[in-house]
């Protein structure tokens, strides 16, 4: 399915679709990848796509970011789309908003060119939902910050150049305080302790890392000390919206394969598609996609207008949790059209897409954490209640 939005002003790279195809061109055995192919981001950078995403002031062109996520997911394994969005949405949003030092501004320029690829390290072995409990410490000294600790999940960690690390600020004696901060650390200074085997998104590497007294300059502090959690949350908001867009791409791809199959395969003397029950189920998938499309792009436009509005964070969370839960079901519906072949990974990619989209219910914050954000927006109506509710005792 085509991305249904105006191309806007002329872009240096022509259409987004063509640029994404150029970025993916020549990747051998794309289904066999076990690490993110960094040339995809390098090429998107060279073509000017990353700069187009960050045109103008922060938050840049969020709608374009969603279109990019959708287009990559429609044309490549979801793991590649997740890796692209991590860099363009999470990392670059934080670098734009909080990267005020020359050191970080220079890094941001390289990231926009695709010459430096960034990752995010927030979750730790002791927990990911409750990020206020992180134990990795940043100890200030005369030369800069000394970072020590372990992070359990760092996507792009095996191929990236730098990582935004959520740390607990320590005092000069090394005693942890209550303050959290985000610090940028070169990935070359981190020890990769494990490269995780995963159920899906194989084209995205996710690793565990350890930092053993890694020294970074004072200027590597991203934003103000004490606001680390807020900084990470800011980046996550853009990433979560991109997850919704990735699902549009991945499910749209699954749907187009399923429609094609129902036209080619016959049972009971007629193409599967002519059995109305099947065609209507496919139409139902399209209905869900169209509703989701409206939600993703409407929210993207709102983020452009007012990225700091508190209720928008909850609205993005609502879009993400809805998209993530629906994706599992919708891909499964498409898989069903293939009968037994849908369950055979050597014969159809549907099973892989199903396993890939399952990550959306966890990555960037779980369903439950999204619902916690949405729950914060629930409000009762006292007057209407008093007027309309009469409960007898």
Ligand X SMILES: Cc1cc2nc3c(=O)[nH]c(=O)nc-3n(C[C@H](O)[C@H](O)[C@H](O)COP(=O)(O)OP(=O)(O)OC[C@H]3O[C@@H](n4cnc5c(N)ncnc54)[C@H](O)[C@@H]3O)c2cc1C
3 state SS of 193: strand
Contact 52, 11 (CB under 8 A): yes
Question: Measured from the CB of residue 361, what is the shortest distance to ligand X in angstroms?
Answer: 8
Question: Which uninterrupted H or E stretch holds 191?
Answer: strand 191-195
Contact 255, 263 (CB under 8 A): no
Query: Which structure tokens are listed for 221?
Result: 């502090």
User: What is the DSSP secondary-structure string of 133-190?
Assistant: G---EEEEETTEEEEEEEEEEEETTTT-SEEEEEEEEE-TTS-EEEEEEEEEEEGGGS
| Nearest-angstrom CA–CA distance, 31 and 77 | 7
Question: Measured from the CB of residue 201, what is the shortest distance to ligand X in angstroms?
Answer: 6
Buried b (16+ CB within 10 A) or exposed e, 189-205: bbeeeeeeebebbbbbb
| CB nearer ligand X, residue 282 or residue 357 | 357
Please identify which residue in the block is written with the tokens 């494990």: 194
Binding site for ligand X (CB under 6 A): 119-123, 127-129, 153-155, 198, 201, 206, 359, 362-363, 365-366, 368-369
| CB nearer ligand X, residue 42 or residue 367 | 367
| CB nearer ligand X, residue 300 or residue 359 | 359
Output phi, psi for 67, to 5 deg: -65, -40
| CB nearer ligand X, residue 305 or residue 377 | 377
| CB nearer ligand X, residue 65 or residue 363 | 363
| CB nearer ligand X, residue 119 or residue 255 | 119
Pairing type for strands 144-155 and 176-186 reads unpaired
| CB nearer ligand X, residue 337 or residue 360 | 360
CA distance between the termini of the chain: 56
3 state SS of 207: strand
User: By Cβ distance, which residue is nearest to ligand X?
Assistant: 128
């Amino acid at each position: 399915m085509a991305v249904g939005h105006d191309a806007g002003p002329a872009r240096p790279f022509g259409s987004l679709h063509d640029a994404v195809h150029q970025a993916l061109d020549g990747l051998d055995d794309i289904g066999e990848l076990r690490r993110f192919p960094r040339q995809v981001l390098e090429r998107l950078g060279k073509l000017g796509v990353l700069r187009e995403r960050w045109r103008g002031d922060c938050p840049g062109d969020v709608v374009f970011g969603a279109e990019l996520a959708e287009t990559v997911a429609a044309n490549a394994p979801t793991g590649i789309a997740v890796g692209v969005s991590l860099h363009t949405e999470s990392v670059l949003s934080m670098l734009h908003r909080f990267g005020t030092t020359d050191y970080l501004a220079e890094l941001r320029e390289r990231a926009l060119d695709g010459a430096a690829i960034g990752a995010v390290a927030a979750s730790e072995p002791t927990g990911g939902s409750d990020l206020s409990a992180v134990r990795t410490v940043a100890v200030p000294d005369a030369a800069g910050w000394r970072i020590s600790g372990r992070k359990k999940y760092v996507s792009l960690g095996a191929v990236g150049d730098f990582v935004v690390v959520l740390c607990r600020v320590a005092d000069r004696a090394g005693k942890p305080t209550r303050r959290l901060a985000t610090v940028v650390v070169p990935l070359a200074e981190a020890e990769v302790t494990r490269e995780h085997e995963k159920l899906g998104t194989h084209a995205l590497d996710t690793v565990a890392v350890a930092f053993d007294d890694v020294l970074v300059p004072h200027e590597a502090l991203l934003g103000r000390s004490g606001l680390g959690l807020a900084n990470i949350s800011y980046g996550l908001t853009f990433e979560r919206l991109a997850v919704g867009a990735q699902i549009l791409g991945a499910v749209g791809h699954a749907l187009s394969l399923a429609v094609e199959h129902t036209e080619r395969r016959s049972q009971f003397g007629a193409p599967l598609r002519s059995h109305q029950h099947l065609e209507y189920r496919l139409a139902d998938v399209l209905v869900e996609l169209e509703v989701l499309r409206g939600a993703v792009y409407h929210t993207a436009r709102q983020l452009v207008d007012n990225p700091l509005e508190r209720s928008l964070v909850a609205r993005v969370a609502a879009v993400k949790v809805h998209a993530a839960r629906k994706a599992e079901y919708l891909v499964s519906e498409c898989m069903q059209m293939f009968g037994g072949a849908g369950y055979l990974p050597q014969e159809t990619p549907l099973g892989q897409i199903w396993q890939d989209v399952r990550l959306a219910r966890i990555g960037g914050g779980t369903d439950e954490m999204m619902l916690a954000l949405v729950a914060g927006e629930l409000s009762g109506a006292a007057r209407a209640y008093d007027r309309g509710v009469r409960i007898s005792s």
